[in-house]
């Protein structure tokens, strides 16, 4: 290599951090930009607070960000505080790893009623994301969750657990106060297809039963398989385990518990029902039956479920960055597995994508690692081929200072981390999150 390539990585979630690791292992130096004051993306602001083992991945990512060749530059929104064109001059290449933030829409009547929420909004609240609401209305006894994936399970589990149970986690005071005053007793999760077609993973499904306050209920009628479903079970150990766990919930004696979490399969939500004055009063579903190919078809039998709020967990969605191509149909940066592509399918020299912004919002944290390798291998191949270069050798921090942007740093994260641990230790917990943006900045500027 002629000189160590200088790379800007945009987004300090797991994808951006794994990519930075591989880049510096290959001899590059990295500036890792993050719009939030703190790094770690959806590990901090997506993974549920009662999943401390997954949140613990942050500890292993510390080892990466401790590397002197990686400089974390937080509190900078690329595309707003600094343009992609400006960065393209300062760096040999840019890796976009901006993940996903929004909810995918669900187009059914009533979905825009006031008590109908996207999962991302509720997750943002309970995970203490400063960009989301500090308060939440849990004054209704029955709620519906639409979607049978792990995010749906997270939302349902947090709604069904008691505030006291969650107090041991890192939730901030405003979240604890809301959850401990919750009136929710019944959580109804709806999925349109059968046990073999749910998107749950076995561990998350089984874990629902670990709470002494939650009785998980599945109707025996919802356990049904066709030829294609049986094939799916024999082809995947995970699918088979999920089916076994659902079967077990369906046949066992009900557990004595304060709250009930129902998982309804073969029930497709077709509308959210409204009162005369425009509030959610229920969900209407249409019963489905297997079509023999692992798909389903409607039976024409409708059921109205009285609920006072609806949460849709039908997937996250990425947003575009000004100055970078973005597919408004797939909601990803168009790419060939590594390079960013123009509308006509040509790669843009020096622009790469990785993580959820490249693949779409599916898969676990671990998947972003192999994904980053694919991206970074290609970047180094281009560097070897002499395809990368920069025209401006200034330091981006001077440019940001000139624009009046206050940036956070890796040392700053250590200070915020210590402050959160101290807040937690005063209550016998490992951590209590700081929520307010300015308060986060007060700890981590510099
Ligand atoms: C609710 C929820 C729960 C989950 N639970 C688990 C779990 O228990 N276990 C598991 O393995 N996986 C879980 N996942 C999946 C996991 O979070 C993802 O696989 C992973 O976070 C994707 O990584 P990423 O880096 O591509 O995106 P993200 O984690 O979204 O990171 C992207 C980062 O880019 C930043 N960014 C965005 N735009 C800009 C910009 N313009 N300028 C600068 N920075 C920007 C964002 O602030 C963010 O920090 C969960 C996902 C969700 C949504």
Q: What is the CATH number of the domain that holds 248?
A: 3.50.50.60
pLDDT in tens, 146-185: 999 999 999 999 999 999 999 999 999 999 999 999 999 9
Find the helix packing angle between 119-126 and 150-160, rounded to 10°.
50
pLDDT value at 446 more than 90: no
| pLDDT-derived band at 2, boundaries 50, 70, 90 | low
309 shares its domain with 370: no
pLDDT of res. 1: 44
Mean pLDDT, residues 238-267 = 97
**13: nearest Cα among 370, 365, 381:** 365
Does 425 reside within a domain? no
| pLDDT-derived band at 3, boundaries 50, 70, 90 | confident
pLDDT of res. 165: 96
Please give the model's pTM, rounded to 2 decimal places: 0.96
pLDDT of res. 193: 96
95 shares its domain with 134: no
Atom of ligand 1 nearest to the CA of 371: 26
Domains: count for the chain: 2
pLDDT of res. 292: 86
Mean pLDDT, residues 127-136 = 98
The Cα–Cα gap between 321 and 323 comes to 6
- Write the residue with the smallest CA distance to atom 48 of ligand 1: 41
Domain termination site, one of 270, 286, 316: 316
What CATH number has the domain bearing residue 371? 3.40.50.720
Q: Which of 365, 369, 372 to mutate to test the pocket of ligand 1 (most atoms within 8 A of CB)?
A: 365
- Helical ranges in 252-313 per DSSP H: none
Domain termination site, one of 251, 283, 316: 316
Does 254 reside within a domain? yes
The Cα–Cα gap between 262 and 191 comes to 11
141 shares its domain with 280: yes
Does 123 reside within a domain? yes
Binding site membership of 364 for ligand 1 (Cβ less than 6 Å): yes
Does 437 reside within a domain? no
Binding site membership of 46 for ligand 1 (Cβ less than 6 Å): yes
pLDDT in tens, 43-86: 999 999 999 999 999 999 999 999 999 999 999 999 999 999 99
The Cα–Cα gap between 218 and 148 comes to 13
Number of CB atoms found within 10 A of residue 95's CB: 31
Q: What percent of the chain has pLDDT over 70?
A: 99
Cβ neighbours of residue 29 closer than 8 Å, sequence gap 6 or more = 4, 5, 6, 7, 69, 70, 71
- Write the residue with the smallest CA distance to atom 2 of ligand 1: 46
Sheet holding 259-264, edge to edge: 116-118, 309-312, 142-146, 186-190, 259-264, 214-218
- Write the residue with the smallest CA distance to atom 9 of ligand 1: 364
Cite the annotated binding site for NADP(+) by residue number.
Answer: 192-193, 204, 363
Binding site membership of 434 for ligand 1 (Cβ less than 6 Å): no
156 shares its domain with 286: yes
**400: nearest Cα among 94, 82, 89:** 82
Mean pLDDT, residues 213-237 = 97
pLDDT in tens, 8-45: 999 999 999 999 999 999 999 999 999 999 999 999 99
Q: If you ran DSSP here, which 8-state letter would residue 208 be given?
A: G
Does 388 reside within a domain? yes
The Cα–Cα gap between 178 and 198 comes to 30
Interior/surface letters 182-205, b for 16+ CB within 10 angstroms, e for the rest: bebebbbbbbbbbbbbbbbbbebb
According to DSSP, the β-strands at 142-146 and 186-190 are: parallel
CA distances from 61 to 13, 50, 56, 75, 379 (A): 10, 20, 9, 19, 22
The Cα–Cα gap between 266 and 268 comes to 6
311 shares its domain with 348: no
- Write the residue with the smallest CA distance to atom 7 of ligand 1: 47
Ligand 1 centroid, distance to 41 Cα (angstroms): 5
Q: What percent of the chain has pLDDT over 90?
A: 97
149 shares its domain with 284: yes
pLDDT in tens, 404-425: 999 999 999 999 999 999 999 9
- Write the residue with the smallest CA distance to atom 39 of ligand 1: 98
Binding site membership of 355 for ligand 1 (Cβ less than 6 Å): yes
166 shares its domain with 233: yes
Domain termination site, one of 267, 294, 316: 316
271 shares its domain with 346: no
pLDDT of res. 208: 95
pLDDT value at 142 more than 90: yes
94 shares its domain with 123: no
What element of type H or E holds 124? helix 119-126
Question: Dihedral through CA 15, CA 19, CA 22, CA 26, nearest 10?
Answer: 170
What element of type H or E holds 44? helix 41-45
Does 418 reside within a domain? no
Q: Which residues pair with residue 216 across a beta bridge?
A: 261
pLDDT of res. 184: 98
Cite the annotated binding site by residue number.
Answer: 15, 34, 42, 78, 192-193, 204, 356, 363-365
- Helical ranges in 315-390 per DSSP H: 356-359, 367-384
pLDDT in tens, 359-402: 999 999 999 999 999 999 999 999 999 999 999 999 999 999 99
Ligand 1 centroid, distance to 42 Cα (angstroms): 3
pLDDT value at 293 more than 90: no
Binding site membership of 9 for ligand 1 (Cβ less than 6 Å): no
Does 423 reside within a domain? no
Mean pLDDT, residues 313-319 = 96
329 shares its domain with 284: no
114 shares its domain with 245: yes
The Cα–Cα gap between 29 and 14 comes to 18
Ligand 1 centroid, distance to 278 Cα (angstroms): 34
Does 430 reside within a domain? no
User: Encoding tokens for residue 111?
Assistant: 């979905």
264 shares its domain with 246: yes
Q: Residue 302 — φ and ψ, nearest 5°?
A: -110, 145
Q: Could you list the residue range(s) of the whole structural domain that residue 270 is in? A: 102-316
Ligand 1 centroid, distance to 398 Cα (angstroms): 29
User: Encoding tokens for residue 358?
Assistant: 């490249």
């Amino acid at each position: 290599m002629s000189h160590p390539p200088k790379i800007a990585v945009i987004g300090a979630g797991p994808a951006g951090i794994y990519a930075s690791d591989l880049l510096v292992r290959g001899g590059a130096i990295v500036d890792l930009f993050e719009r939030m004051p703190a790094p770690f993306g959806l590990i901090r602001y997506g993974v549920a607070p009662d999943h401390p083992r997954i949140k613990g991945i942050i500890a292993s990512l510390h080892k990466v960000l401790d590397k002197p060749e990686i400089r974390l530059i937080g509190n900078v929104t690329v595309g707003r505080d600094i343009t992609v064109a400006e960065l393209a001059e300062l760096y040999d290449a840019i890796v976009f790893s901006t993940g996903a933030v929004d909810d995918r829409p669900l187009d059914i009547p009533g979905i825009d009623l006031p008590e109908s929420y996207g999962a991302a909004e509720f997750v943002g609240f309970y995970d203490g994301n400063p960009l989301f609401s500090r308060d939440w209305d849990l004054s209704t006894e029955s709620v519906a969750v639409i979607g049978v994936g792990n995010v749906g399970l997270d939302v349902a589990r947090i709604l069904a657990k008691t505030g006291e149970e969650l107090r041991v986690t890192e939730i901030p005071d405003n979240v604890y106060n809301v959850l401990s005053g919750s009136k929710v007793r019944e959580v109804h999760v709806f999925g349109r297809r059968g046990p073999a077609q749910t998107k749950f993973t076995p561990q998350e499904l089984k874990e629902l039963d670990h709470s002494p306050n939650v009785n998980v209920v599945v109707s025996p009628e919802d356990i049904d398989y066709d030829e294609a479903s049986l094939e799916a079970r024999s082809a995947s150990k995970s699918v088979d385990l999920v089916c076994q766990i659902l079967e077990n919930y369906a046949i066992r004696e009900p557990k004595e518990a304060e709250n009930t979490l129902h998982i309804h399969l073969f029930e497709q939500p077709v509308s959210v029902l409204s009162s005369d004055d425009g509030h959610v009063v229920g969900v209407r579903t249409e019963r489905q039956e297997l079509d023999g190919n692992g798909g389903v078809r409607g039976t024409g039998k409708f059921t109205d479920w009285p609920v006072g709020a609806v949460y849709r967990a039908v997937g996250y969605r990425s947003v575009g960055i000004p100055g970078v191509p973005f597919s408004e149909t797939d909601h990803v940066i168009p790419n060939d597995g590594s390079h960013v592509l123009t509308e006509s399918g040509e790669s843009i020299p020096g622009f790469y994508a990785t993580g959820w912004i490249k693949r779409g919002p599916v898969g676990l944290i671990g998947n972003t690692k192999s994904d980053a390798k694919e991206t970074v291998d290609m970047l180094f191949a281009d560097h070897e081929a002499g395809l990368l270069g920069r025209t401006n050798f200034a330091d981006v921090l001077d440019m940001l200072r000139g624009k009046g942007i206050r940036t956070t740093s890796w040392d700053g994260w250590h200070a915020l981390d210590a402050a959160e641990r101290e807040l937690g230790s005063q209550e016998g917990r490992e951590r209590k999150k700081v929520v307010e943006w300015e308060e986060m900045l007060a700890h981590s500027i510099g």
